[in-house]
Amino acid sequence: MTDGNNPDSAPKPVKFYRGEGYHAEESIGFMMKRILSSISQTVEGRLCEPGSPTFPQWIPLAKLSQGHVTTVAELARECQLDTGAMTRLLDRLEAKDLVRRVRSQADRRVVNIELTDEGRAAAKDVPFYLAAVQNEYLAGFTQEEWEQLKGYLRRILDNAQTISARGETKNDDPGTP
């Protein structure tokens, strides 16, 4: 496993993919995106009754209810949204009376986010729906395979964080994956 804080500890790139004969549908990124999209649609279909939060709105509710974040900036980072998109999302959640923004008394530049009673009630069942849907997607996997899959995905995530830490945005050698 790599140390995401030390780019020098990253494993060397491999050449599993090559430009010639490359098929996007065989790429791990394409497959992961399709899986995530399918899971999102399934969860939204189970969670979202007319007038209730949409799947993208459930994500910040879940993060807030689990205590992962307290500020708008933290929530935007956790949800991988820019501040403008997060502001629009919070506007919709506030309109549904699920969250409220509260300016910090210690630092007026900081805006904290709190779940309302309605928001806490709405977020209460989210982990159960998420667990049920993910278990369906893992049908046929053994406990050992599930643990291996998580390990592989963590390794890919570690590599992604290492690349991000190095600030790489493009590959200088188009012949190298």
Q: List the CATH number of the domain containing 93.
A: 1.10.10.10
Query: Does residue 82 form part of some domain?
Result: yes
Query: Does residue 54 form part of some domain?
Result: yes
Instruction: Indicate the pTM of the whole model.
Output: 0.70
Query: Does residue 59 form part of some domain?
Result: yes
Report the DSSP beta bridge partners of residue 100: 114
For every residue of 130-142, DSSP letters joined together read HHHHHHHHTTT--
Query: Does residue 115 form part of some domain?
Result: yes
Structurally, the chain folds into a number of domains equal to: 1
> Residue 177 above 50 pLDDT?
no
Report the DSSP beta bridge partners of residue 31: none
Residue 109: the pLDDT is 86
User: For residues 126 and 61, is the Cβ–Cβ distance under 8 A?
Assistant: yes
Query: Does residue 170 form part of some domain?
Result: no
Query: Does residue 23 form part of some domain?
Result: no
Q: What's the domain range around 52?
A: 42-138
Query: Does residue 5 form part of some domain?
Result: no
CA distances in angstroms from 166 to 3, 65, 79, 169, listed in the order given = 13, 33, 22, 9
In this prediction, residues 153-164 reach a mean pLDDT of 91
| Measured distance CA(125)–CA(147) in Å, rounded | 25
> Residue 176 above 90 pLDDT?
no
| Measured distance CA(98)–CA(162) in Å, rounded | 36
Residue 72: the pLDDT is 87
> Residue 147 above 60 pLDDT?
yes
Query: Does residue 154 form part of some domain?
Result: no
| Measured distance CA(27)–CA(32) in Å, rounded | 9
Percent of the chain whose predicted confidence (pLDDT) is above 70: 86
3-state helix, strand, coil in the chain (%, to 5): 55, 5, 35
| Measured distance CA(144)–CA(75) in Å, rounded | 33
